[in-house]
Structure 1
């Protein structure tokens, strides 16, 4: 509870420093970060009103109030304003604001609510993301512990992939088994499962298909999901069924492994996100595969699978201890095969801590 109260205080202080009069936070990961419950966004408005200099108010439909029963609103100093169908919830927000001004609205607030709020409260509206991401990028000890828990859970799934990945099965069949294991090994759900076999592995965001996996296939397996605390895992390993059909697999994969390690080695306080990206990209480019590395090196992770900071060219944000993000370079040869290695790392005072400990070598499974 103390941690949540501190987050609310830091959020309002950051809002004041940004020249804002209030934050308006709809259901989602921002709301979960601030009060411990994310809720769901439907056609009925739920909104946490965080005015600068006054106590926050949670505006929530009475029929959805039980979903927030676990939130210690009294201890947090959060007022609750309920409403029923036929009443105007947007007026409740206006009353909680006690006047118009410069207000920041949650980035993912549905337009259905955003436009109605704009009409009712007036004033200037901007996005809340620039304020909240400054808080959410730097994980505290409890958040780091949750990320470690998620990393260990997904490592246990990767350790079992050989139970399901074999010739004669479809990607969809393998993916269903992996999804069940993600839950069995400690996640709340399987947020995503990618099984990209053979030429499908050359598509970084391939999901699952009815392609039958064959002996000699290189297979990219990218999986993750949230644990009970809401924090996510995300880890990729690349497998091969027997001896790879294409002769350049081992040499190419060695380049990828060196690139991933170079990026992890580059992580330390003060190094910029784009410098970490460049460390991986340079190794791949020097080996002649630059055009086949088609995405950023990484993304932040926490209550969302993708959040700040992004490890990408053009991002000159210096790393700080507590920042958590993926390091996941890939090489994708269209129509042939692809490979990716992904760990989640946490910036420390002196370097990087990986929450994933599975080996980085190309995993050979029986054909």
Structure 2
């Protein structure tokens, strides 16, 4: 399904790096520093799949070229343990217009001092060192940089804004990842039967994702919950046998070229006999999802999208059982979020998960989830629209 979708090109990474350098120059920062992770992946193709975190820090550093007032050729620096230097050069495929600078720190030296010394040796020795640090950086790494003379800048929000506005290239990846996930859910449903266990259905779901793995690359989650167990949003109750009166919830996601899908369906089988109260709850959740989608246009506050869904559920008498939020991208959950306290305004290129749910412990849990993007004209577009989009009823998904 996604064989035509290519990963981000080197030119894409160069544009992202240029945008990052422009942000650094605008605030007078020396560098942006990150550990392997989603932000490292976004700017330089350095993800946790490429390099696992350990007590020995490996850091990605992106900095303006000394004396440059433009972002044409950022410096890409990798601070690596010396004994891992060769592996870092072989394993990390870094898109850079300039030769990547690999700075090795020996076991008997402080890595952060080694990085500071490298900067002082390659630019004005008297210049102060100010770094914008990636938000998820571990505390001991941030503290180590501070002790080595780095002043921490406070403009992480500018870095987040670069990632929050998805390009057409990113949107096409996200679309295909979400489409193939929904197709996998539908394929598993066709073979399910009354009397099977949650664990069996979950294994089928994992197998479906494995078959799609040439498209999705990595399975992120395959959550399968029946009936009352779905009242706990992430499950955890004993393995249940599917009965005729039970609704089924699949919450499924994987990644394509590092970008996440996240699709949830609560549904019934053709032979199911769902209690009328549970069908009422399903319809309320569906109405809430529709309400949120209708108001999710450019310029609207994220909290107002949450409020649109919340109002429907409160009016139906289920307000205390409501849950709703989330954004999506390289991180499964990333800003901006559809949250009741969010002051963020929806902008072109923002992507969100529209995931209202009602969770009544010891009775039932229902949620529906479809991701969407705010398009150039300011309107929302479902990332699953290419394969039929949202569920229409518990039997039509």
Structure 2 length normalisation: TM-score? 0.84
1:292: Cα distance to partner? 1.2
Which deviations, in whole Å up to 9, do the C-alpha atoms of 1:149-206 show, x marking residues without a partner? 1011102112112145333322222112211211312212221122121111111222
User: Which whole-Å CA distance do the structure 2 matches of 1:211 and 1:161 have between them?
Assistant: 17
Secondary structure of the residue aligned to 1:115 is helix
Specify the alignment match of 1:45 in structure 2. Answer: 57
Matches within 5 A, 1:138-157: 138-157=165-184
Structure 1: which 5+ residue stretches go unaligned? Answer: none
1:119 aligns with 2:147: yes
Question: What is the CA deviation profile of residues 25-51 of structure 1, one whole-angstrom value per residue up to 9, with x for unaligned ones?
Answer: 110010010112313222222111223
* Counterpart residue number, 1:311: 338
| Corresponding residue to 2:287 among 254, 258, 279 | 258
Structure 2 unaligned residues grouped into runs of 5+? 1-9, 67-74, 121-126
Give the aligned CA root-mean-square deviation in angstroms. Answer: 2.3
1:82 and 2:110 equivalent? no
Following TM superposition, by how much is the alpha carbon of 1:114 offset from its aligned partner in structure 2, in angstroms? 2.6
Q: Distance in 2 between matches of 1:238 and 1:213?
A: 14
Instruction: Give the conservation status (yes or no) of the 8 Å contact 1:65–1:82.
Output: no
- Give the Cα–Cα distance (whole angstroms) in 1 for the partners of residues 349 and 247 of structure 2: 35
Out of 211-220 and 92-101, give the one that drifted further.
92-101
Within 1, Cα distance between the matches of 2:25 and 2:236?
43
- 1:57 counterpart (62, 67, 77): 77
Residue by residue over 1:292-340, the C-alpha shift from the partner in whole angstroms, topping out at 9 and shown as x without a partner, is 10x33x3111111000110011212111111111111111122111111
SS of residue paired to 2:219: coil
Measure, in 2, the Cα distance between the counterparts of 1:76 and 1:268. Answer: 40
Per-residue CA deviation, residues 241-281 of structure 1 (Å, 9 max, x unaligned), is: 44445321222221211111111111211111111111111
Residue 10, structure 1, aligned to residue 30, structure 2: no
Alpha-carbon deviations, 1:9-64, whole Å to 9, x = none? 21122234345332211100100101123132222221112235542312123153
Which residue number corresponds to residue 136 of structure 2? 108
CA pair 176-157 structure 1, distance change in 2 beyond 3 A: same
Distance 1:27 1:208, change over 3 A: farther
CA distance in 1, matches of 2:114, 2:173: 35
State the match for 2:296 in structure 1. Answer: 267
- The aligned runs of 1:163-242 (5 Å cut-off) are 163-185=190-212, 186-206=215-235, 209-227=238-256, 229-241=257-269, 242=271
| Displacement of 1:350 | 3.2
SS at match of 2:260: coil
Aligned residues: 360
- Which position in structure 1 is the counterpart of 2:347? 320
Contact 1:150 1:233 in 2 (8 A): yes
Contact 1:222 1:236 in 2 (8 A): yes
Could you tell me whether the CA contact under 8 Å between 1:30 and 1:132 is conserved in 2? no
Q: 1:175 to 1:207 in 2, by over 3 A?
A: farther
